[in-house]
Amino acid sequence: MEQLLKDWDGETVVVRYDRPTGAWIFIAIHSTRLGPATGGTRMMRYPSPEVAISDALKLAAGMTYKFAVPEFPRGGGKAVVAIPDDFDPQTRTDLLRRYGKLIQQLGGLFYTGPDVGTSSSDMDIIAQTGAPYIHSRTPSAGGAGSSGPATAMGVFTGIQVVCERLFGDPSLEGRRVLVQGVGGVGESLIEHLRTAGAEVLFSEVDEQLVRRFRDELGFQFVPAETVYSTECDIFSPCALGGVLSGDTISQLKCRAVAGGANTQLAGPEDAERLRTRGILYAPDYVINVGGAMAITGIEALGWSRGEAVRQVVHSILGGLRQVFKLAEKEGITTEAAARRVAEEHLSKGS
């Protein structure tokens, strides 16, 4: 853990051990150059505290770049609540309240919302002790609700830009799109794709979701073991990150990767692997900013929902086109181009 922190280029890490439950809480503040650090709270089991803090550090950096590309006035942060294997669900509410108190004690250094393993209902509980630094509470509690639909709208917009780049036309009519993960983001994305006339395939490990999307809604199911080798125009990872590695990239039979999952690249070298194979990559933090931008805009900047949608679509259209243009001009990966754009914007806030 010590070496992870020494190698990290962020600002601050808050570490708290929750003795009543045995959970570890890590709040990683990567950058406050453009505004207060903002990012979701991930709550799940990890093999070790070291793996959990490593996840928090990577995700926080991703949030910095996510906000920097569209020059949104927020910095990058992320929280991970690593629960033990023997975690008692009945202790969850009190753990969330203690976590909220910790956020409140930070006095605005970190704002948070839902992520993997947490929901808007959880934000209602966290806000009991953590207000006013909690976003995406349920509408009944005065919040803007789930960020999933806005994230999906942004990813859909990114896929349109990908089609524009590959085929000269943003239309999804007849395009074969494979969505990996049909949770909050994937489900909404599938609806956009179907409405646009795409041929949609999906992969999912939750049997209940598989039955719903395959048997009730009629979408073609792709088993996890063949998801990377399935032919499609666009592969859209919308589950957990780290799915693009040397092993999986070698199997891909797609023209492009454009999805909502965070930190999709297993390592920095994987962007070059995609480029070498001629697979166009839409950097995840460029196209999955929609939820974070929309919810923060509505709750902190006074946007209407209509304005939030317009801002998300406009930002992703402009940002991704800029990244693709720069990558082609400089002969670099789209990941490197996105980082260059983000760093230029961050330098203005230094």
Same domain, 128 and 254: no
| Banded model confidence at residue 348, pLDDT cuts 50, 70, 90 | confident
User: Which phi-psi region, left, alpha or beta, contains residue 145 (left: φ > 0; alpha: ψ -120 to 50)?
Assistant: left
Has residue 67 been placed in a domain? no
Has residue 300 been placed in a domain? no
pTM of structure: 0.92
Same domain, 78 and 183: no
Check which CATH number belongs to the domain holding 133 and give it.
Answer: 3.40.50.10860
Has residue 46 been placed in a domain? yes
Residue 349 has pLDDT above 80, yes or no: no
The single residue of 78, 253, 329, 348 carrying the catalytic annotation is: 78
Pairing of strands 75-83, 23-31: antiparallel
Query: Do 227 and 257 form a contact (C-beta atoms < 8 A)?
Result: no
Same domain, 154 and 229: yes
Q: Which domain holds residue 262?
A: 148-289+318-345
Distance CA 64, CA 35 (A): 10
- End residue of a domain, out of 109, 141, 173: 141
Nearest CA among 50, 44, 53 for reference residue 14: 53
Q: Is 78 a catalytic residue?
A: yes
Same domain, 272 and 335: yes
Q: What is the pLDDT of residues 195-243, one digit of tens each?
A: 999 999 999 999 999 999 999 999 999 999 999 999 999 999 999 889 9
Has residue 306 been placed in a domain? no
- End residue of a domain, out of 126, 141, 156: 141
For residue 164, with 0-12 CB atoms within 10 Å meaning exposed, 13-18 middle and 19 or more buried, which class applies? middle
Same domain, 217 and 341: yes
Nearest CA among 326, 309, 328 for reference residue 69: 326
The number of folded domains in the chain is 2
Has residue 25 been placed in a domain? yes
Has residue 198 been placed in a domain? yes
Q: What is the pLDDT of residues 279-313, one digit of tens each?
A: 999 999 999 999 999 999 999 999 999 999 999 99
Neighbours of 15 (CB within 10 A): 14
Has residue 305 been placed in a domain? no
Residue 141 has pLDDT above 80, yes or no: yes
